């Protein structure tokens, strides 16, 4: 048998057929490629691994560049490989071949829920986790009753005070979501990873086909919080959940999240994915456990192709995570799309 790796068109028949044959998430789907190109990098990259000319596996992602150093991400925020893979030595050799052909310093395969287990020796492995709320047996009516009493009281109190949730796709609501996002990153000291163009692209590209929805919490005619959810076949993914200072007073996040989970139940999803927030984000992790979620371990793998450039990339990322840079990055993201 002969294994090979080739670039492929993420919107072409080869990639669509591969996705149809294997379990995958929305982030592997052809529909996600325009979102990546608009909101992450204008250089998308997809590849397939073939056995005797037949596509067996592959990934879709982007090439991100900074200071002349190029890194391949497969994918963003989830991704990794789908399909049947060759043995580990052959896989590493094929990926290095791809990396050299595209002048990549390294290739990152992002772990995702439901990813098949296999040998990843020779890759740099970074542990992570997501939290998933199983929806089996829940109905929209029983969902609220499944919470602890204090959670039910908080949500009911918010409703009583006039907080409502609406599905929106207008520019003002998209802008409000991003404004709340920047405010949250500034308040918590986080880096604003998502660009405005990513949010806009998700709403414009995926909402019309029923794969995304932007929910806005409203109190007395004012937007006080927003949540962006995208849907895979069996999971709903809470991509962003943010609120204003006023929204935090009125428990907007909890009302938005409850509504999103309720929508996932109505859509027949198996679970609601809270998405990774980084192992250092303890406050966010604690918030997720309040909803009786299951911790699902993930592993992100990095294959170094150009050691010196990969080390320089790591140093740049380390600098970006320092406090003085965090606020600057958040401010700059608000000024660019």
Domain boundaries along the sequence of the chain: 3-129+298-305, 137-269
Asked if CATH classification 2.40.50.140 holds for the domain at 3-129+298-305, the reply, yes or no, is: no
C-beta of residue 165 within 8 angstroms of C-beta of residue 255: yes
pLDDT per residue as tens digits for the range 256-308: 999 999 999 999 999 999 998 765 456 676 778 778 899 999 999 999 999 99
pTM of the model: 0.91
The topology (CATH level 3) of 137-269 is: Aminopeptidase (3.40.630)
Q: How far, CA to CA in Å, does 214 sit from each of 124, 170, 272, 316?
A: 36, 10, 16, 33
> What pLDDT was estimated at residue 79?
86
Residue segments in the chain with a per-residue pLDDT below the cut of 70: 278-283, 285, 320-337
> What pLDDT was estimated at residue 308?
96
Helices then strands, counting H and E runs in the chain, come out as 12, 13
Q: Residue 228: beta bridge partners? A: 214, 240
């Amino acid at each position: 048998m002969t294994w090979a790796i080739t670039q492929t068109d993420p919107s072409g028949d080869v990639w669509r057929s591969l996705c149809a044959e294997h379990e995958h998430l929305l982030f592997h789907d052809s529909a996600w490629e325009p979102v990546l190109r608009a909101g992450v990098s204008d250089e998308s990259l997809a590849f397939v691994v073939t056995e005797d000319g037949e596509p067996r596996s592959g990934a879709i992602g982007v090439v991100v560049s900074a200071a002349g150093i190029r890194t391949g991400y497969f994918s963003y925020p989830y991704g990794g490989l789908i399909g049947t893979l060759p043995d580990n030595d052959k896989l590493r050799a094929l990926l290095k071949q791809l990396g050299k052909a595209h002048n990549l310093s390294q290739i990152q395969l992002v772990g995702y829920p439901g990813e098949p287990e296999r040998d990843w020796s020779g890759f740099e492995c970074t542990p992570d986790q997501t939290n998933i709320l199983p929806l089996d047996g829940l109905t929209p009516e029983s969902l609220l009753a499944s919470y602890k009493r204090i959670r039910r009281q908080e949500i009911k109190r918010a409703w009583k005070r006039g907080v409502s949730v609406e599905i929106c796709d207008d520019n003002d609501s998209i802008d409000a979501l991003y404004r709340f996002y920047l405010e949250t990153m500034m308040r918590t000291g986080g880096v604003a990873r998502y660009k405005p163009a990513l949010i806009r692209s998700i709403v414009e590209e995926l909402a019309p086909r029923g794969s995304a929805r932007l929910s806005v919490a409203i109190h007395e005619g004012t937007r006080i919080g927003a949540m962006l959810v995208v849907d895979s076949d069996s999971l709903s993914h809470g991509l962003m959940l943010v609120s204003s200072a006023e929204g935090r007073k009125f428990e907007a996040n909890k009302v938005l999240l409850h509504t999103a989970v309720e929508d996932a139940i109505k859509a027949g999803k198996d679970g609601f994915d809270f998405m990774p927030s980084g192992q250092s984000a303890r406050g966010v992790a604690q918030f997720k456990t309040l909803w009786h979620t299951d911790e699902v371990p993930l592993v992100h793998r990095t294959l170094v192709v150009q050691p010196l450039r990969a080390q320089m990339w790591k140093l740049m990322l380390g600098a970006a995570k320092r406090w003085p840079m965090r606020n600057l990055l958040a401010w700059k993201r608000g000024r660019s799309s």
